[in-house]
Amino acid sequence: MRNIKYAFWGLLGLSSVLWLAAEPTVFQPANFFALRGAMVQYSGILAMVAMSVAMILALRPRWPERWLGGLDKMYRLHKWLGIAALVISVIHWLWSQGPKWAVGWGWLSRPVRGKRPPLENPIEQAFSNLRGTAEGLGEWAFYAAILLIALALVRYVPYRFFHQTHRLFAVTYLVLVFHTVVLTDFDYWISPLGVMMALLLVSGSYSAAIVLLRRVGAGQQVEGQIASLRHYPGVRVLEVEIGVPEGWPGHRPGQFAFATSDAREGAHPYTIASAWHDDHRRITFIAKELGDHTSRLREKLRVGQNVKVEGPYGCFDFDDNQPRQIWIGAGIGITPFLARMKYLARELSERPNQPSPEVDLFHPTTDVDETALSKLKTDAAAANIRLHIFVDARDGRLTGDRIRASVPEWRAASIWFCGPSGFGEALRGNFAAAGLPVTERFHQELFAMRA
């Protein structure tokens, strides 16, 4: 979480510093309209920096995943950049349009412009001839971007509609690239700011093309086939086992993958609920009926159906040096712990003398399915893990105090949490107040994708 904050503010800060270096007279504007011109440039640059990096992250690149803490953290950064682009774009639009309104209302006097010197650079002349087109297209692209970003942020929008409309942002982005290239102050392009902008716009445009061609994650995809389906009605969960061919590289417990069973719906992320065996090339996903997409899976999926699987992704891999671990899998957040328990059970059977941390697993849940809970208890026993089940209606809510009472050695433990983000943040704050160094030892899966 800390690194994505560094990345977010560092990106905006670096862009601001480079812009100030390219526009040193901004603090001494000749008049209001000179200030307005500088602010239009600054806000436009910040908005396009945020959009470009968000577009690059949409490709799910592997290279920043470890530093940012996993693809779930990268998607959180993608979301923050989208919100930042939305807010800054509105500010950019207000700086552009507001003074025009003020002149029309008589609040400001139109500036007196002298005769502009002829442009000698043919590229600058070409850009000047395109200004009107770039301004008109940019305004309409701005309206489209506002709508598309807003739709992405409204969780009540059905998943299929979200998937289809979110791809349209790539078209809007390409129009805004044209708008930016033409209208950015020409002198900026020969400064470090211009170099950074050129790299981001080219990379963002490439990313937009990949999105439009539906090639996101193509290099990590394999074609699998559904081997079995099992429904647990008490918890409204569907367990899907998929056979994958030689192209699947294997995965670590706690990682996830994207699965596509319907091209119109697109890829959807699921945490992998099984340990990997190279001689038994199957992976298990568990999907809870939480939204329009996951609620229809039981009706749409069938044994033998081809499913495209992409991954694996994620750094929620239980990799630390603490002698104790506390796992908290709330509701469907139990999934990564199922995979880890299966892995540990196999390790215990093959290497019984290998040391491993002592683990307490807490599973707070609202829904109850006795068959599912029986399997969970069996897996925990096989992995030598202490299981604590909290059914809300029977046992009340799980709190930090109750966890610490159950695990007296909690100060020596790391905590691994997967579940509702608000619950995770509350527990993180509770343990921080109790003295646990949560920055190093509280690990939280941040995926909050649509269901």
Find the angle CA(82)-CA(72)-CA(331) to the nearest 5 degrees.
Answer: 120
Q: Are 237 and 372 in contact (CB under 8 A)?
A: yes
Of 176-185, 235-244, 314-323, give the range with the top mean pLDDT.
Answer: 176-185
Burial (CB count within 10 angstroms: exposed 0-12, middle 13-18, buried 19+), residue 29: middle
Q: Can you give the pLDDT at residue 293?
A: 73
* Average pLDDT score over residue span 82-109: 92
Residue (of 449, 445, 434) closest to 328 by Cα position: 445
Q: Can you give the pLDDT at residue 280?
A: 85
Beta strands in 42-125 (DSSP E): none
Residue (of 209, 178, 203, 165) closest to 49 by Cα position: 203
Q: Is the pLDDT of residue 234 over 80?
A: yes
126 DSSP assignment: H
Summarize pLDDT for 147-179 with one digit per residue, the tens. 888 888 777 767 677 777 888 999 999 999 999
Summarize pLDDT for 349-388 with one digit per residue, the tens. 888 777 778 999 999 999 888 898 999 999 999 999 999 9
- Residue 438: pLDDT band with limits 50, 70, 90: very high
* Average pLDDT score over residue span 196-222: 95
- Rg of the chain (C-alpha set): 26
Q: Can you give the pLDDT at residue 448?
A: 62
Q: Is the pLDDT of residue 114 over 80?
A: no
Burial (CB count within 10 angstroms: exposed 0-12, middle 13-18, buried 19+), residue 414: buried
pTM: 0.87
Residue (of 278, 293, 297) closest to 226 by Cα position: 297
Helix, strand and coil percent figures for the chain, each rounded to 5: 55, 15, 30
Q: Are 80 and 1 in contact (CB under 8 A)?
A: no
Q: Can you give the pLDDT at residue 109?
A: 82
End-to-end CA distance of the chain: 23
> What type of residue sits at position 166?
H
Task: Catalogue all structural domains in the chain, each as residue range(s) with its CATH number.
Answer: 2-113+121-212 (1.20.120), 219-313 (2.40.30.10), 324-444 (3.40.50.80)
Q: Are 360 and 389 in contact (CB under 8 A)?
A: no
Q: Where are the alpha helices (DSSP H) in 186-334?
A: 192-212, 292-295, 297-300
Q: Are 303 and 228 in contact (CB under 8 A)?
A: yes
Residue-averaged pLDDT of the chain: 90
Cα 342 from chain centre? 27
- DSSP string over 164-181: HHHHTHHHHHHHHHHHHH
Q: Where are the alpha helices (DSSP H) in 263-406?
A: 292-295, 297-300, 335-350, 370-382, 392-395, 400-406
- Residue 447: pLDDT band with limits 50, 70, 90: low
Q: Is the pLDDT of residue 263 over 70?
A: yes
Percent of the chain with pLDDT over 70: 96
* Average pLDDT score over residue span 66-70: 87
Q: Can you give the pLDDT at residue 361?
A: 97
Dihedral sign, CA of 276, 282, 288, 292? Answer: positive
CA distance 33 to 361: 62
Q: Can you give the pLDDT at residue 140?
A: 95
